[in-house]
Structure 1
Amino acid sequence: MLGTKSKVVPKKLIPEMVTDSRFITLKVFEIERSWAFAMKLNSEAYTEPRKRFHMASRLTKAARSADQLADLTSHLNCDAQTMLELQAYIHWIHGIRYFEKKDWPHAKYRLESAQAIYEGLLKIIEKDMRSVYEYRVSELLPRIRYCAHNIGDASAASDLMKMRSSDKELGIEKNIRTTGAKLGVLEQRDLDNLLSQVMASQAQSITEVQWLGHTIPVKLEHARLALNSLKEMDAELAGLTDPVSRLAIHEANLKVCVEAISAVRDELNALTAAELAATAAATTGDIRTLTKPNRSRLMNSNSDQQADLNKLPRIRLLYTYLQYLKLSKTFSRNLIHVEVALSPRMSLVGKESMQTDEINLKTESLNSKKDSSVLIASSSHAKPQELARLYDSLVQTLQEIAAIPGVFQEHRDIDYLQTKLMAYRCFRYVYICDSHG
């Protein structure tokens, strides 16, 4: 160390001093220490915003040390792989600094440079080491796509959404930095904000839906967001075969449906109350029976009141449609539970259609009591009572769908719906009989 009693000046590391690889390790350790402290400050900055200034200074110090490392190694006789790894590491440090400064073009350039080097190394290194470089590439991708979105790339947000959902399926959302998830060190709140903005902009394009020959206008913001989320998740569901992943998507679908139904119900209740108040006032001729909001609405203009009351049929139809969607998603989820509960012959890895295999297996069980016992023995559920309960839930859901106003009268595949109801009742009876010996 150099300097005075009041100030310490570290000794500058020059190429002539480097006689061992540990000198390089010390410099890398210095960079990592500054970076780690910056990430700690970044996590605390949400509650203490002033810490972002300290974080920026630590990242600047890390980038300065990285430049010194680059200058140092340029005068050393290092092998090609080491030089490439150092260049990628230095690009990454600078990319993180620009990313936190929200300098998206420079951050994207630096991170893509690091990604290109790591992908090049993947082609030449031994297989035992490839997982390390694959992890680094997967860690860089979300930041690159985030930068691209902020620059103006419309496809970047959908890529981020896919990365986010794939990480959720693996259950690695709790500790983003240390698990090696695709989200890497990208701040979860930033990603959530981005995805919320994208979904809101996409939801603006949904103005109406077609159901049972009716055109239903969708004016409520919650309903538009819910329908857009369901559309996105259904598209994602089409490419999945693993039952666990499909169940996770169905659970998310059901949560979205419940929230949308609650919002529409609140609007429906408000309009119904206004209708009852207006009817009472018209019948008695006494405006004092109205509440203050309804009184002002009535006094402003009859046409405005009529426009509000005309919303009721549309809101009721939208409410019914969302209930239908919720029951349909519940039915699909229960089908997957049945699929998992059945024999290993069934599509635990998504090789065949569940419905086709199910009918074939159950036909065999109806033909022979012995075949039925074999089927139950090979199930992941030891007891036939469990399968009977699952089929009972399918029957109840179908009955609730059939009880929705207008479904039996206007459903195009009503015969198919009745046939499914009868079939699942038969499946339930089979397992009830098996459970009683």
Structure 2
Amino acid sequence: MKGTLLFEQEKNIEAAMLNFKNTRTVYEELGKYGSIENQLLCRQRIEEVEPMIGFCSRKLGGSALQEHDLLDMEKEGPAYDLFKAKIEAVLSETRSQQAASMTEFNWLGRRFPITSAKTRVSILKAQQLEKDLNGAATEPIPADKKLAIFDKLFSAYHEARSCIRNDLASAGNAENIRDELNGLDKAVSAVLGLRTIERNQLLVTIAKSKFAKHRDEKNEKITKPEELVRLYDLLIQNTTDLTDLVSSGRDKNEEENAFVREYELKDLAFRAERCFYLAKSYSSVSKRAEAYALFSYAHSLADSALQELANSPHKTLIQDLEALSFNCRSNSCIEHATGIMEDESAPERLSKGVSTISLGDDKRKDTKYLLDILGSYESALGEQSAKAPCRISQFPPPFQSVPCNPIVLDMAYNTIEFPNLENRMKKEKKGLLRRFWG
């Protein structure tokens, strides 16, 4: 409580940090004893104190947490609201001080002046998030945290684009200012497109790892090849938009031409990967001919990209394409062999299926129902491991033949006129009394 009071008053940050550290030490010692609930409670208190220690260290100029770690707090409460407000205030002040010295934005060998303070702060925030995203040299950042940083990064660049376009609307007829703002807007949009491609590549990496496992240990949803096809569709669209944006200028420098060429080759690699997983989706439904054709086409696309990248410094991309080419070749051979085996065994399966067809009711005769065996002790539930329902009675009941006259004979009988045979019938003799009584 004393550390929180000093933290709120901002009078003695060093004393506040010392109190927070003592609090952390006490909770660490208490967490070693007691029940599990007590240990969890102590651990929760330690997690509440850790960000405040990092903030105090930042204020004192020592080692600090990353910006996304300070802002990425999901807990709520009065203390956390105060802490977040102070973090935002300090970071905004720091960005404003750094933005005062930021006068231009560099992109592919071109420099674009930045005159608006809001635009500077937004771009500076985005650049700081990029450093946090790529600056984890000691410990890798988890994928879910990277995705959260990407979301904040996109928000910062969208805010910068909004400020630039507001400046364009108020620029009037000043051609020089409008040209500079248009160039800055194009550069920021290109960086935004580039980061979008990186985010989608991260999603592809996550999906590939799940697809390779086939069965996730945490009972999560299995990644299907169709999902990877959709992700590669997004990557192809992002790459096309980015190359169109960068190549839209009249006078392109060497860096812009090299950038466009690089992403045209990446687009070819993305198309080969998409074709590979599209073939996987056809293979999963036993469409051998389509899968074989798509694997062969993906193999040709991968080989074409490898020829273009023969002298390229992108070793990782070359290794991925070599692995893709090998997988396409092996999978096409497997699909070819499987298709031939299925074609050869098709007549045998057909004849076997025809031979097992029966017009009788043999299978039903083997099945015993409870109503048929009431006089004997025999289970009608089936095996315990089986999921079949109880065999109480057959429903719907089987068809049975019923004796009846053919309708043709009935019609013939109704149309025949039989002769009168009363004169041939033997007359019964009756006595006097029977005649009298009728």
Identify unmatched segments of 5+ residues in structure 1: 1-92, 178-182, 276-308, 349-373
Structure 2 residue corresponding to 1:115, chosen from 21, 31, 35? 21
Structure-1 residue corresponding to 2:201: 335
Structure 1 residue corresponding to 2:129, chosen from 233, 236, 248? 233
Structure-1 residue corresponding to 2:49: 140
Structure-2 residue corresponding to 1:396: 237
**Residues 210 and 223 in structure 2, CA contact (< 8 A), matched pair in contact too:** no
| Cα displacement string for residues 111-137 of structure 1 (whole angstroms, at most 9, x for unaligned residues) | 514523642774797377766555444
Measured in 2, the distance between the counterparts of 1:247 and 1:435 equals: 27
Structure-2 residue corresponding to 1:384: 225
**Residues 261 and 323 in structure 1, CA contact (< 8 A), matched pair in contact too:** yes
Structure 1 residue corresponding to 2:187, chosen from 303, 313, 321? 321
Structure-2 residue corresponding to 1:81: none
Give the CA RMSD over aligned residues.
3.5
Structure 2 residue corresponding to 1:207, chosen from 99, 103, 113? 103
Q: What is the Cα deviation at residue 166 of structure 1?
A: 4.7
Structure-2 residue corresponding to 1:104: 11
Structure-1 residue corresponding to 2:32: 126
Specify whether residues 124 and 259 from structure 1 end up closer, same or farther in structure 2 by C-alpha distance, changes over 3 A only: closer
Specify whether residues 202 and 141 from structure 1 end up closer, same or farther in structure 2 by C-alpha distance, changes over 3 A only: farther
Q: What is the Cα deviation at residue 256 of structure 1?
A: 1.2
> Does residue 94 of the first structure (1) align with residue 16 of the second (2)?
no
Give the letter for the 2:85 counterpart.
R
Note the 1:212-227 alignment, pairs <5 A. Answer: 212-227=108-123
**Residues 200 and 231 in structure 2, CA contact (< 8 A), matched pair in contact too:** yes
Point out the structure with max Rg over C-alpha.
2
Structure-2 residue corresponding to 1:161: 67
> Does residue 258 of the first structure (1) align with residue 99 of the second (2)?
no
Measured in 2, the distance between the counterparts of 1:256 and 1:328 equals: 14
**Residues 208 and 217 in structure 1, CA contact (< 8 A), matched pair in contact too:** yes
Q: What is the Cα deviation at residue 155 of structure 1?
A: 4.9
Note the 1:41-120 alignment, pairs <5 A. Answer: 93-100=1-8, 102-105=9-12, 108-113=14-19, 115-116=21-22, 118-119=24-25
Structure-2 residue corresponding to 1:274: 173
What percent identity do the matched residue pairs reach?
21
Note the 1:11-26 alignment, pairs <5 A. Answer: none
Secondary structure of the corresponding residue to residue 412 of structure 1: helix
| Cα displacement string for residues 19-65 of structure 1 (whole angstroms, at most 9, x for unaligned residues) | xxxxxxxxxxxxxxxxxxxxxxxxxxxxxxxxxxxxxxxxxxxxxxx
Give the letter for the 1:96 counterpart.
T
Give the letter for the 1:311 counterpart.
I
> Does residue 195 of the first structure (1) align with residue 95 of the second (2)?
no
Identify unmatched segments of 5+ residues in structure 2: 288-438
Q: What is the Cα deviation at residue 396 of structure 1?
A: 0.5
Specify whether residues 234 and 407 from structure 1 end up closer, same or farther in structure 2 by C-alpha distance, changes over 3 A only: farther
Aligned residues: 269
Specify whether residues 415 and 146 from structure 1 end up closer, same or farther in structure 2 by C-alpha distance, changes over 3 A only: closer
Structure-2 residue corresponding to 1:306: none
Tell me the TM-score normalised to structure 2 length.
0.53
Q: What is the Cα deviation at residue 327 of structure 1?
A: 0.5
Structure-2 residue corresponding to 1:415: 261
**Residues 401 and 407 in structure 1, CA contact (< 8 A), matched pair in contact too:** no
Measured in 1, the distance between the counterparts of 2:170 and 2:27 equals: 63
